[in-house]
Structure 1
């Protein structure tokens, strides 16, 4: 038996102290304020989905699960996103993470979830538990100081398409707004922004509830760029997202591609001193010709009932973007 298969006596802590959890996650992820990166996960209402384990009274290992739902043409898919898998540096290589993931799986089955997924680089911990890679994430440099011929050609094409877009819009009716403290947005505007996201998200994208949205916008360091045309929202995008998404333009939604280009140009101009990364999410195919995208594996997943929906089928849905986790929700 391998060392990683031996499970010492660890006990799940039911009465979680967020101070204790903050201490553990800050050490594991080398952060100063890790919990505030995921306010939709780390809250009192979600405590039953937080798996904190102790040995001799000391917090040593943790992971969370967060419900994510997808509406397919003929059915609803229910899943859990696994996040923040970690073990205290002094207690690694003892099988704690494997034990927690096995208990998380049991909990997800009990709650009748169809599958589990997580965002991660390749790790034998996950593949040994039958998680498989699925889908791709596309990222492109913007405002890059590394000016390759491909980058410059794409930049010229973006400028050309942006100028074409302006010819279809009355510029005097455009109004750009950037918001740094999203928590202070009034309730009516929050609701209008959420409605705009829901109405303009691809049908394949995970379902975003209003309650979840109001939690997510508590994430520190996240900014919102909003474009209105004739006083009506027509495009939005976010930049930065806690510690993980620094200088990343993400979660772009629009009701007309011309407005998307106008908004992107504004974000780029406002951040000329930064080397930005553009993460188009479920809209990647619409921007392929305009940016030099690099692809990385998107996630790892496993079915919890192969007869109900096979892991291979889930992989196919991800490859075709028939299911896609919204970048606001990804933990």
Structure 2
């Protein structure tokens, strides 16, 4: 649908890169809409204090996404001994940075006529790849190929994310500025790094997590979280790339496919967090927040002072009295930094 050029996509979808590809390059951008491929239908803009704001609906979702990211990062960091805690925090941080850049680009804070606009769009594309590549590396943390949270684990995660960012950023800016063999009318490289490779990374992540749940965990409920995550992401892509013009017309230009795609992407990220939370448990011996259901009472040994075993020992109220005489439980938490087996 756009391997050699993105005309088909840009005619249906109001994504920022569309003003930088097509018959004109970014040097021809003098006023809004003078370059790139025009989208048939897009959400109307509003004027606030002599400032034009684009994609208001998507902007509201992005602002809400930042609040949700902050809450998820706080909850992840509170599980002090859970597997992949630092790695998932890195993924959520990248998604949060991508959300901030999307706010700047989608809403017109950086005007399309600005010389800096191609670079901001390239940064947005690079962060998209970095976030996806970070996610696929997160998918292998649960296999314990190397110790999570260590220097090696974080170094590999950040290195791969940086590589993904640099590759996509360079290809994007070369395409927008007509450098090398790339250009606004030759977008094969951009299509490959932004759509094909990222799609393969997401498939690898989903497949690896299904294998992890089936072969490692007794509980199958995490598969539901994976399924919902896939559903929201695929639904968002379909609403964006297939039904955006229809939605825009039916909603009288108040919303378009970008709004629904942004919302579905947020739900997908929330399901990734929910999935991680469902397969990880922390060692309560070293954690601050104690949850009662994490403990397992394995055995009640005989009382310490010769009393019979039980919760209540022989006290002034007999066997049914309320005085606790010192009998104890053998309580066993989960292994430090372990998956919920």
Report 1 or 2 for greater relative contact order, CA contacts < 8 Å, sequence distance ≥ 6.
1
Task: From the two aligned structures, give the one with the greater helix fraction.
Answer: 2
Q: TM-score, normalised by structure 2?
A: 0.23
Pick the structure with more strand per residue: 1
User: Normalising by structure 1, what TM-score?
Assistant: 0.24
* Higher Cα Rg, which structure: 2
